[in-house]
Protein backbone atom coordinates (compact mmCIF):
# COMPACT_ATOMS: atom_id res chain seq x y z
CA UNK A 1 0.00 0.00 0.00
CA UNK A 2 1.27 3.46 -0.78
CA UNK A 3 2.22 5.92 1.92
CA UNK A 4 -0.84 7.49 3.51
CA UNK A 5 -0.70 11.27 3.48
CA UNK A 6 -2.54 12.73 6.47
CA UNK A 7 -3.20 16.37 7.25
CA UNK A 8 -4.31 17.45 10.73
CA UNK A 9 -6.08 20.74 11.26
CA UNK A 10 -6.82 21.89 14.75
CA UNK A 11 -6.95 25.67 14.68
CA UNK A 12 -3.95 26.38 16.84
CA UNK A 13 -0.63 25.06 15.67
CA UNK A 14 0.71 23.91 19.03
CA UNK A 15 -1.68 21.12 19.90
CA UNK A 16 -1.88 19.79 16.36
CA UNK A 17 1.92 19.71 16.20
CA UNK A 18 2.06 17.57 19.33
CA UNK A 19 -0.79 15.40 18.04
CA UNK A 20 0.99 14.90 14.70
CA UNK A 21 4.21 13.88 16.48
CA UNK A 22 2.33 11.41 18.71
CA UNK A 23 0.48 10.00 15.70
CA UNK A 24 3.75 9.56 13.77
CA UNK A 25 5.14 7.49 16.65
CA UNK A 26 1.94 5.42 16.86
CA UNK A 27 1.80 4.87 13.09
CA UNK A 28 5.40 3.65 13.11
CA UNK A 29 4.71 1.24 15.97
CA UNK A 30 1.72 -0.18 14.08
CA UNK A 31 3.68 -0.49 10.85
CA UNK A 32 1.54 2.12 9.08
CA UNK A 33 3.46 3.98 6.39
CA UNK A 34 2.17 7.53 6.80
CA UNK A 35 3.26 11.12 6.52
CA UNK A 36 1.41 13.24 9.07
CA UNK A 37 1.53 17.02 8.98
CA UNK A 38 -0.32 19.67 10.93
CA UNK A 39 -1.52 22.95 9.45
CA UNK A 40 -4.08 25.63 10.27
CA UNK A 41 -7.56 25.24 8.82
CA UNK A 42 -6.99 28.30 6.61
CA UNK A 43 -4.46 26.26 4.63
CA UNK A 44 -6.65 23.22 3.86
CA UNK A 45 -7.36 24.32 0.29
CA UNK A 46 -3.64 24.40 -0.51
CA UNK A 47 -3.16 20.76 0.44
CA UNK A 48 -6.23 18.96 -0.92
CA UNK A 49 -4.32 17.63 -3.94
CA UNK A 50 -1.51 16.30 -1.75
CA UNK A 51 -3.38 14.34 0.90
CA UNK A 52 -5.40 11.16 1.34
CA UNK A 53 -6.90 11.90 4.76
CA UNK A 54 -7.89 15.12 6.50
CA UNK A 55 -8.33 14.87 10.27
CA UNK A 56 -10.15 17.80 11.83
CA UNK A 57 -10.02 18.77 15.50
CA UNK A 58 -13.34 18.19 17.32
CA UNK A 59 -13.79 21.88 18.09
CA UNK A 60 -13.70 22.63 14.34
CA UNK A 61 -16.74 20.53 13.45
CA UNK A 62 -18.37 23.72 12.15
CA UNK A 63 -15.90 23.91 9.22
CA UNK A 64 -16.84 20.50 7.80
CA UNK A 65 -19.32 21.92 5.26
CA UNK A 66 -16.69 24.35 4.08
CA UNK A 67 -14.15 21.51 3.88
CA UNK A 68 -16.54 19.48 1.72
CA UNK A 69 -16.70 22.37 -0.72
CA UNK A 70 -12.88 22.53 -0.92
CA UNK A 71 -12.56 18.82 -1.47
CA UNK A 72 -15.21 18.46 -4.14
CA UNK A 73 -14.41 15.28 -6.05
CA UNK A 74 -10.94 14.78 -4.63
CA UNK A 75 -10.46 11.32 -3.08
CA UNK A 76 -9.85 12.65 0.42
CA UNK A 77 -11.31 10.98 3.51
CA UNK A 78 -12.40 13.53 6.11
CA UNK A 79 -12.39 12.39 9.74
CA UNK A 80 -13.61 14.45 12.66
CA UNK A 81 -11.31 13.63 15.56
CA UNK A 82 -12.93 12.49 18.80
CA UNK A 83 -12.64 14.74 21.85
CA UNK A 84 -11.62 11.90 24.15
CA UNK A 85 -8.31 11.23 22.41
CA UNK A 86 -7.81 14.71 21.05
CA UNK A 87 -7.93 16.26 24.51
CA UNK A 88 -5.12 14.00 25.70
CA UNK A 89 -3.19 14.12 22.39
CA UNK A 90 -3.39 10.32 22.31
CA UNK A 91 -1.76 9.54 18.98
CA UNK A 92 -2.31 5.79 19.26
CA UNK A 93 -6.08 6.18 19.64
CA UNK A 94 -6.13 8.73 16.82
CA UNK A 95 -4.37 6.22 14.54
CA UNK A 96 -6.80 3.46 15.62
CA UNK A 97 -9.74 5.73 14.73
CA UNK A 98 -8.13 6.63 11.41
CA UNK A 99 -7.54 2.96 10.53
CA UNK A 100 -11.16 2.11 11.36
CA UNK A 101 -12.44 4.97 9.21
CA UNK A 102 -10.41 3.97 6.17
CA UNK A 103 -11.21 0.28 6.59
CA UNK A 104 -7.80 -0.81 7.83
CA UNK A 105 -8.64 -2.10 11.27
CA UNK A 106 -5.74 -3.81 12.90
CA UNK A 107 -6.06 -7.52 12.45
CA UNK A 108 -6.13 -9.16 15.85
CA UNK A 109 -4.94 -12.72 15.89
CA UNK A 110 -6.76 -14.89 18.37
H/E element holding 85? helix 83-86
Give 43-70 pLDDT, tens digit per residue: 899 999 999 999 999 999 999 999 999 8
CATH tag, 5-101: 3.40.50.2300
| This prediction's pTM | 0.89
pLDDT at 41: 87
**Please, which pLDDT band fits residue 110 given cuts at 50, 70 and 90?**
very low
pLDDT at 104: 81
Contact call for residues 42 and 14 (beta carbons, < 8 A): no
**How confident is the prediction for the chain on average, in pLDDT?**
90
Q: Could you tell me which residue, 108 or 98, shows the higher pLDDT?
A: 98
Amino acid sequence: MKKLRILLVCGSGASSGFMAANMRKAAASKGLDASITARSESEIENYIDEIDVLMVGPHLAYILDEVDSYIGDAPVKVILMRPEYYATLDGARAIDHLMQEIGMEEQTHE
